[in-house]
């Protein structure tokens, strides 16, 4: 199949993977994602004035070598993606605002479990402490004799991670960990829907079958077992306990999705968060303004937007975004 003529083409886009879009054509497919083939292609096709690319460093280098006078810009998808990362950092910095204030008369959360370490500075005691002390001394002695960590693990029949813990500890007391500390929960496909389940549970709907059916009717990618496990944790929660606060990822999604794409519950939750945190409320305004710049191709207003964002950024640094509206590729907004 012959390639379309590049005569008069002043703008090219370099993406991975290459896809055919409605309003522009695929003119070629590079053999690799390295800079060399792109540079060679640009040299064979002179006259390119603007190169729209993703954030790959190899593409940047290839564009510099093959078309040094061309202007390199980012497409709207990657601009919005970068903004999303900045928003997530901002939300994480204000994660305290995500928690609902404790109503008067509500029991406070249980204090964290006490650590195995003595709080008064005394050395740990007991059989466990003695075993830790002996194991640490043994590993340190074998290291001093010139044995490798792998050899020590094989000789003692221990796991390598166990040997590394004793080998890297300066004092044997440092090997005592708080085994009762709660592990950080892993991300789950159910996370975005937990606020909804908790609200429905408070409203009196405790049927796992019904709740799972409601989520599936909304095309939620969750299983019955996921819903059942979460409802089980709600059933064991103390009476009158407030709903769990939204996660950083959830709030980031609420801020970076189009308002019409949010459910009623999501909009209500976001409104509560923004009411508690003026900084996130300001960030939400910046996100809306940037979304309008992208969808309206208002690149001329970008410098004003950067000036408005600059004082808001931690440390005074602005988010520098260049090349708004260079392609037809849609953003998340």
Kindly report which listed range (195-204, 219-228, 239-248) carries the lowest average pLDDT score. 239-248
Tell me the pLDDT band of 215, cut-offs 50, 70 and 90: very high
Residue 209 has pLDDT above 90, yes or no: yes
Report how far apart, in Å, the C-alpha atoms of 81 and of each of 28, 303, 304 are.
Answer: 25, 19, 20
Residue 33 pLDDT exceeds 80: no
Name which of 124-128, 142-146, 282-286 the model is least confident about: 124-128
pLDDT of residue 92: 87
DSSP H or E run through 14: strand 11-14
pLDDT in tens, 36-87: 888 898 888 888 888 888 777 888 888 889 889 888 887 778 788 888 888 8
pLDDT at 321 exceeding the cut of 80: no
For the CA atoms of 103, 106, 112, 114, the dihedral, rounded to the nearest 10 degrees, stands at: 140
Nearest to 54 by CA among 26, 13, 87: 13
| CA atoms of 166 and 181, how far apart (whole Å) | 20
pLDDT 10s digits, 154-203: 888 888 888 888 888 888 888 776 444 455 667 888 988 998 998 888 77
pLDDT tens per residue, range 112-132: 444 444 444 556 667 778 888
Please give the share of the chain, as a percent, with pLDDT higher than 70.
Answer: 73
Q: Which helix (H) or strand (E) holds 250?
A: helix 248-256
List of residues 6+ apart from 247 with CB closer than 8 A: 98, 191
């Amino acid at each position: 199949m012959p390639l379309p003529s590049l005569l008069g083409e002043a703008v090219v886009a370099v993406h991975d993977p290459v896809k055919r879009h409605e309003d522009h054509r695929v003119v070629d497919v590079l053999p690799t994602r390295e800079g060399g083939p792109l540079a060679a292609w640009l040299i064979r096709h002179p006259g390119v004035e603007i190169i729209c690319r993703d954030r790959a460093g190899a593409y940047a280098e290839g564009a510099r070598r093959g078309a040094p006078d061309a202007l390199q810009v980012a497409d709207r998808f990657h601009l919005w993606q970068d903004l999303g990362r900045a928003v997530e950092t901002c939300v994480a910095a204000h994660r305290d605002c995500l928690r609902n204030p404790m109503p008067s008369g509500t029991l406070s959360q249980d204090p964290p479990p006490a650590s195995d370490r003595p709080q008064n500075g005394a050395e740990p005691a007991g059989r466990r402490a003695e075993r830790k002390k002996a194991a640490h001394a043994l590993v340190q002695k074998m290291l001093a004799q010139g044995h490798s960590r792998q050899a020590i693990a094989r000789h003692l029949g221990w796991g390598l991670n166990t040997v590394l813990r004793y080998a890297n500890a300066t004092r044997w007391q440092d090997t005592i960990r708080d085994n009762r500390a709660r592990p950080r929960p892993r991300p789950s496909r159910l996370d975005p829907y937990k606020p909804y389940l908790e609200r429905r549970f408070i409203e009196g709907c405790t049927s796992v079958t019904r709740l799972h059916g409601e989520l599936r009717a909304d095309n939620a990618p969750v299983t019955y077992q996921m819903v059942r496990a979460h409802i089980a944790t709600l059933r064991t929660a103390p009476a009158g306990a407030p709903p769990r606060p939204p996660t950083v990822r959830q709030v980031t999604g609420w801020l970076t999705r189009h308002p019409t794409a949010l459910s009623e519950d999501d909009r209500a939750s976001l409104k509560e968060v923004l009411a508690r945190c003026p900084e996130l409320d300001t960030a939400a305004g910046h996100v809306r303004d940037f979304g309008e710049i992208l969808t309206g191709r208002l690149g001329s207003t970008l410098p004003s937007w950067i000036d408005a964002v600059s004082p808001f950024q931690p440390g005074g640094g602005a988010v520098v975004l260049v090349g708004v509206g260079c392609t037809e590729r849609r953003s998340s907004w």
